[in-house]
Amino acid sequence: MGKVIDIADGLFVAEPHPALIGGRHRTSGQMVFPCPAGNDDYAPTVLPRRGTLWSWTVQRFRPKTPPYAGPADFTPFAVGYVELPDAVIVEAPFTGVDFDELKIGMAMETVLIPLNVDGEGRTVRTFAFAPVSRD
């Protein structure tokens, strides 16, 4: 596999496990995602990597480009909200699950997935949520 780049800097960490980076307001303690870039009122904070499925739907047609930056060969995907405990509710696509298996309240975890290949042949990766693996 060629070079892998992240869709944006400061959006997530890969190690020791994938997790999103939110911003905690230094005065109020309010958490937001993503962390506002260049705003000293927010401290970057690694969010819980696991949460619960809050709501979801299935995207069955290819969105308009731009802003859609996914592959040309479109495949329907599930997208929705995951509540990260004591933090925020985050919208993201889901991966590794059959649509019929999605249930409100199910345990989900942050994962990193390939989104597309850029003009320089690099794989662009982004974040998604997947059911918590039963290792």
User: In percent, how much of the chain has pLDDT > 70?
Assistant: 96
Grade residue 106 by pLDDT with cuts at 50, 70 and 90. very high
**What integer is the mean pLDDT of 20-27?**
97
**What integer is the mean pLDDT of 10-37?**
96
State pTM to two decimals: 0.88
Tens-digit pLDDT profile for residues 119-135? 899 999 999 999 997 65
Tens-digit pLDDT profile for residues 43-65? 999 999 999 999 999 999 888 87
Mean pLDDT for all residues in the chain: 92
What is the pLDDT, as a whole number, of residue 1? 55
Strands 50-59 and 42-46 turn out to be unpaired
The CA angle 66-68-70, to the nearest 5 degrees, is: 130
Please give the single-letter amino acid code of residue 93.
P
